[in-house]
Each structure stands twice: as C-alpha cells, then as structure tokens.
C-alpha cells in the first residue's frame, strides 16, 4: 500500500441506501494488474468509527473501454493535470508494448 497523494471520493448507491467515502492523504491505496483485470484498493485505517476500505476489480475489456471514454473527455482537464496523467499513461503504455521491460519510473 502507498499513501494517497491527493484525494478519492467513492459513492455506492442502492435503492434504499447511499454510502459515500472520502480517502485523502491519511489513507493508502494499491493498484495492480492480475490475470483477469485491474485491482484497486483504497484504505483508511484507524479505529472502527473511521476505518473503511473499497476494493474494485475491473476486467480488461471494461477497463479498456473506460480508458477510451477518458480519452474522449480529456478536454475538460486543465494543463497541469494533463501532464501528470500523460506521464502515468505513457509509463503504462510502454510496459504494455513490451511486457519484458520494467515500467519507467513515474514521478510527479
């Protein structure tokens, strides 16, 4: 797990309930790829009154479609955030092209 460098908000909506959680710099995350897709975890520790976690697993085809949709909407992102996203996307693309290589170091 790594510290969250910014902020994530999660909402889980059911017909009769709504759960909303915010994960900030005091929280941790994990993101990795496994045999069937990507796995994301957001975790905030502490005592039971504040402890929470979210686990999300997305299969490859859905994740690819999500990336395509993100590309279509990138015009709404300011220049500073575009640069950080472009650097991370380039690191992922480089490793996807040559799976034998270690990923380039990602730095903000």
Assigned token pair, 95: 């490793």
**For the chain, domain boundaries:** 2-58, 73-108
pLDDT score for 56? 96
User: Virtual CA dihedral for 71, 29, 23, 17, nearest 10 degrees?
Assistant: 80
Residues of the chain with pLDDT under 70: 99-108
pTM of the prediction? 0.79
pLDDT score for 105? 61
Q: Give the number of residues written for the chain.
A: 108
**What is the SS3 assignment for 64?**
helix
pLDDT score for 108? 45
pLDDT score for 107? 47
Q: What DSSP designation does 73 have?
A: T
Question: How far is Cα of residue 26 from the mean position of the Cα atoms in its chain?
Answer: 16
């Amino acid at each position: 797990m790594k510290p969250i460098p910014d902020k994530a908000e999660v909402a889980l909506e059911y017909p009769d309930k709504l759960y909303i959680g915010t994960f900030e710099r005091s929280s941790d995350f994990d993101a990795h790829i496994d045999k069937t897709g990507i796995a994301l975890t957001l975790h905030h520790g502490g005592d039971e009154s504040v402890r929470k976690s979210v686990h999300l697993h997305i299969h490859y085809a859905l994740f690819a479609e999500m990336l395509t949709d993100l590309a279509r909407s990138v015009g709404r992102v300011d220049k500073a955030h575009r640069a950080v996203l472009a650097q991370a996307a380039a690191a992922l693309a480089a490793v996807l092209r040559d799976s034998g290589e270690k990923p380039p170091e990602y730095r903000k």
